[in-house]
Structure 1
């Protein structure tokens, strides 16, 4: 459908030439990724080819500050790009989103020593290095719940020795460096350290899941992995870590991914409805009243969730002084997007019918992938509690 501005409904969130270029790059890669997604999903393999394309296109430096050679994307641009990328392959989009989100958080907070942050940015821009933060552990659960890590940091000559096991370590087959949280030996303090792949670091390929099967979220095992003092981010003897309240904005890469998957499911269902002509009715099923109603229900879900997601990202970008109060809105954007994505993919499958269960079609993979959003932060119960407490305190 074309609007009076000549844009399709899909382009209504593109506001200028820069955003159009960002979206176009993501669209081109998404088309390439979509052709490989079924194979990596079936085999549970990591899409190294996709990440080679991401590196070649410059995508990995999207959120790095311009002073260090990056594109310094706004949150709105990150959401726009990640949603488009996820239409091709949700696993790839979610995985690279953690890299982009961490770089955006560091750019905003400047919570690292500046020399270390500059060094990280140089490695990303020059070499295409990838980074992620590994915090989850089996005994502590999600780090957002406040569990104390059982990974231990022990003081050593010139640095620290880190030992432990991290789960849900997305990008583990390809990251060159990553940050970990660890309890300082002999006390209750928790430090943060930049760890490089190499001696003392091993990937245990445990990731075999229902959905998001190609994110490479295996266990990472650390056995006295050495971190030099200059790559200890927060530890005894260092200044307290800076943590600004607006860091949570970068987590909108998560709902952007699930909205992208839902949009792809919507597109597939629309094409199917226009083209499928059972000989019992002699016309496309899109012309049947009950199918039109299902399409309308799907569209209502998607438009509402996308609109709030982009509205929230834009507001976060513009109202820098209000970011401290926006955590409930950021959480709500994720809650609405994730749950709407589940309903949209379900509705798309109802439109397509029994054929949607076939592994030769993408809908059943999308159905499995969007379920994973329920287990990404912030969790639904925490979001609802935040909203309730804010309302009660008004």
Structure 2
């Protein structure tokens, strides 16, 4: 903390960056820290593992929500894994960040993690841009099954093929398995099963399939997952599988699937279409364009010819608007008009220094123009997705409630 203070950072800036705790002290004191990076490899936060056991202290501690770091979007290790994911044509998601580190150390670099949070649409969409085959290494306990159930629904919406990796008996996590024998971890990855099949196996192992009560519990749980699948052929496949496992007719399984619980129907309300959050890469492109424009007057003039409402968030719009109306002067510090967004401006200036200061003016203009074209394309694509989603929601509403 004292080193950053000597460099001129204020206490508020350190707090906004997620580097201090609620008492104003060092958030990661006494911890081994691992940087959290965005898809471009820029550090946006940290995760810290405690070195000496302290009663009541969490084993792991992550940077809180900041302007740069959002745990619901961040995929740990993605910047280092991108090339391997493309080459191997699949990605592996594990639960622990150190499982990622151990995997990369033995050259299994297609492994990433969700940084200590539940899997979200944003995580899978980030991976789908690279590959359609995603393999989950979750625990086979109650929490792991629930996480897989949620992932199946998300994967069906996003359009990725999900499989589940089962660790050999006695292995606590991938890190422990790698310490024993890295080839066993690779074999477990290769033997991954389709996610729905894996979930059905877990359900089957937890009930007595010889009794009516066991079959009822199994079909109730299994059909709840099958109903989240968007493809009717895939749904029928698993309805047939459930019928076979319970020695029941397909017609009976379909009849049960069609029976929505009365309380669910009672709770059902017309869905209000919500704004779809843009992918993290789109925000990175916007930050890069604004950072370059901070240094270059011609880049600032290019902003004047854009519709600035395509910039996401109050702070990005404010900076873009300022640069477009004050073209001709490179930013050295936060102007008074942008004091409200001082932390974000300083982040842009640091980004500009790191990425664009060594470019000559012509290179900066070309790079900014490329980024602005990309931003406009992504904005149009985002609008199309929102309209398609809105149209789908309208079609799914009961006719009398439209």
Structure of greater Rg: 2
The answer to which structure, 1 or 2, has the higher relative contact order (CA under 8 A, 6+ apart) is 1
Q: Which bin holds the TM-score, normalised by the shorter protein?
A: 0.3 to 0.5
